[in-house]
Structure 1
């Protein structure tokens, strides 16, 4: 019998970083792949708005130089990461204190070298104007903090995952961690890393987040969050990615689109967010989500915190963390202007911009009433919740011919999205028996962007 005619080996639904990364793994194995995206551009939540020479991330998810997938994913060779200063600045009782920085720069430098194209990242140092000498934040001695972070950085992942699983806040107390260390350092840090201010996240996921923080440096992509998906899309074979194409149904051998009817294939990989995936495949679990609001301001007199990430240990306002991001990545603001980007976790308060300005004035120790608001981006379903029990490797193979990937299948991070894409592509290739160039019978339709 003749093999049924198809138009691509694999159709990937969704052109976020998970779908684009999976497409790279598939095309590298000789599998013809079509990536269909309903939006007019790639990237999903990792998008960047351009306003008067500023580059404003809609969702400023923090990355780490210790993320393995950033160097393992094809297409990211040209990625440049800009690092924050080592550790973080903690605001407590009207003062700022550095915490979590390694004893020297050696460990941070080693982590930087582990990521390609990172040579241009600025070297962080103690933030100018941060008053750290007069009085220290009571979170434990620097040596004890370094020892804590050093232990978790070198603990094998298997051992971390073997620990009893609790909500992160409960686990920190159950392990006997001093309350001053939890409240003064670990809680604000983990809230920033997990976008979960109440630390309801699985303790195993929290341990992995701490391990990444301790083993590397927090960073952002040069040019904005959109650079990651744009690099991935640009490095795929021409004609692979098609935007403005809405998929209305899927099966193991085809997808149906609103614009072009049915497209036949040998396998379908859903790489959308969790809710969109469940709409196409009723029965898929939709997790709860953590909402995130990002507020961008500009001023011609930047606060003197250098390239540091500033966290509020007192939880004295809506801002969980903030930074003069143009100091970290100068490409994000025009010359002579500073870009201050601040993140609010959970439901934003009424009059969020006014509340954020008041809080920033206390955090930075400077008036903010003359700062200009550039944008307020609220994403109600920004980060899938990872409450216990949380499966860190949810199945990516639903059945032969139908697969799913995204940050809702691993950890709710860029690392998790990229890793789930690798797992899904491996499952597809194993089922297809891909050993080289695959058969392709009919051309794809002439895709056009939706009007």
Structure 2
């Protein structure tokens, strides 16, 4: 139990990924740190429910192996990232089409050569494999969509233009992306020069999945960062469920650092007051809760709008033959934005002999979500879902903060000396944004405490993705 007289250099309020990442950097710099969490577990929205041997994520956020903070955050070098098959599958007009991320391709000429070379090659869905991190594919193995009549990406020339654009984007410095004029993402796509078919058939459904924003109202800079990560890495999930990331961070902190079941009622620059254990005195306080809880502790802090997300989990003993692919609906013919046989990506998420199909609905859910999702999945996978068993329907009305323009990708984390704030509402509404905000906050705290931090300098810019 936490004693009322317990002293620490820094008290972190909230054991989500931002607060835990900050605690790692603080403790590694020799700063005594206590993390107080009101819930009885860590991770916040990165929670995984266990049901009859299944591991069900409550919010199906997608990660990318290109996220810098997954490499820079202490302790995450032990995180197992399991990638989806390269690129995505697009469902359009009753057919599925492969669309890949051309990391490492040699510009427009190489992209066009790759499209022509693969036009007669057999399609295959790669088996799931474990890698941390994912190495760049050789140029000859860059996945590129096949050209076929009616494909959502258009003609072979259109696909080559898209491949070249993604290749250039993967190699563009982040600072140049952030210097572009800011527009709503949907409006920015319309003026980028790509064919309307490519935008509607590929970029819209992809960005909707990455940003959890079906209407693409997010800042075009956030969209560019999401595409930058997609083009430069692989979409992936943590082995064992989303909770694996925060639990790894918590488990590798010094023993006794994280205290769960402790509700903080007020904060100051040199103390926090808890409902259970009175006042805990310290030299600095970092509020690392979600945006709404942070505003309750820090009056005047802006509360953003939020985007709702619903995740529906089904199981079957006869899974669709899509392998480890992420499947998007290019036609937007139902409530499902993206779906996957997640147990093909991460076998630990389902018991032997069963498959786990996880599907994400963006925006307000339909009145009978499970029925509407089943009907849509039957079309997307081309199979009956009547015998699929529903394991859970998780709806989060405030799943991720909206990032509508103008969106400050680096909102201040230092409110005044001794009082700081971090979370995905301070950067981008992604795991990368949450980790990066914790990185920035810990750097500010160490600077104010006068701690030499030459080995822990914060990355100057964020990189985005969602879920």
| 3-state secondary structure, aligned to 2:398 | strand
Cα deviation for residue 201 of structure 1 reads: 0.2
Counterparts of residues 276-355 of structure 1 (less than 5 Å)? 276-355=293-372
Pair 1:425-2:419 in alignment: no
- Provide Cα deviations, 1:7-49, integer angstroms capped at 9, x if missing partner: 0000000000000000000000000000000000000000100
Question: Alpha-carbon deviation of 1:148?
Answer: 1.1
Deviations 1:176-234 (A, max 9, x none): 32211110000000000000000000000000000000000000000000000000000
3-state SS in 1 of match to 2:435: helix
Among 137, 142, 153, the alignment partner of 2:152 is 137
2:74 corresponding residue in structure 1? 74
CA RMSD of aligned residues (A): 2.3
> Is 1:366 paired with 2:383?
yes
Is 1:396 equivalent to 2:416 in the alignment? Answer: no
| 1:28 alignment partner in structure 2 | 28
Provide the aligned length of Structure 1 versus Structure 2. Answer: 420
Q: Which of 194, 202, 205 is the matching residue for 2:219?
A: 202
Contact 1:10/1:266 (8 A) holds in 2: yes
> 1:434 deviation in Å?
1.9
Contact kept? 2:101, 2:232, Cα under 8 Å: no
Partner in structure 2 of residue 52 of structure 1: 52
The residue that corresponds to 1:64 in the other structure is 64
Q: Deviations over 1:267-313 (max 9, x none)?
A: 00000000000001110000001100000000000000001000001
Q: 1:74 to 1:259 in 2, by over 3 A?
A: same
Misfit runs of 4+, over 6 Å: 103-107
Q: Deviations over 1:307-337 (max 9, x none)?
A: 1000001110000000000000101001110
- Structure 2 unmatched ranges of 5 or more: 108-128, 136-140, 454-467
Query: Please, which of 203, 226, 243 is the counterpart of residue 243 of structure 2?
Result: 226
Structure 1 unaligned regions, length at least 5: 108-112, 437-451
Is the 2:424–2:433 Cα contact (8 Å) retained in structure 1?
A: yes
Deviation at 1:143, TM superposition (A): 1.7
Counterparts of residues 4-153 of structure 1 (less than 5 Å): 7-102=7-102, 116=132, 135-141=150-156, 142-153=159-170
User: Following TM superposition, by how much is the alpha carbon of 1:158 offset from its aligned partner in structure 2, in angstroms?
Assistant: 1.2
Compute the displacement of 1:116 (Å): 3.9
Give the 3-state SS of the residue equivalent to 1:408 in structure 2.
helix
CA deviation after TM superposition for structure 1 residue 102, in Å: 2.9
TM-superposed deviation, 1:101: 3.8
Q: Does 1:378 align with 2:362?
A: no
Question: How far did 1:77 drift?
Answer: 2.0
Deviation per residue, 1:94-131 (Å, 9 max, x gap): 11001134388999xxxxx9x84669xxxx999xxx99
C-alpha contact (below 8 Å) 2:410/2:426 kept by paired residues? yes
Contact 2:103/2:142 (8 A) holds in 1:
no
Give the conservation status (yes or no) of the 8 Å contact 1:37–1:244.
yes
TM-score, normalised relative to structure 1: 0.89
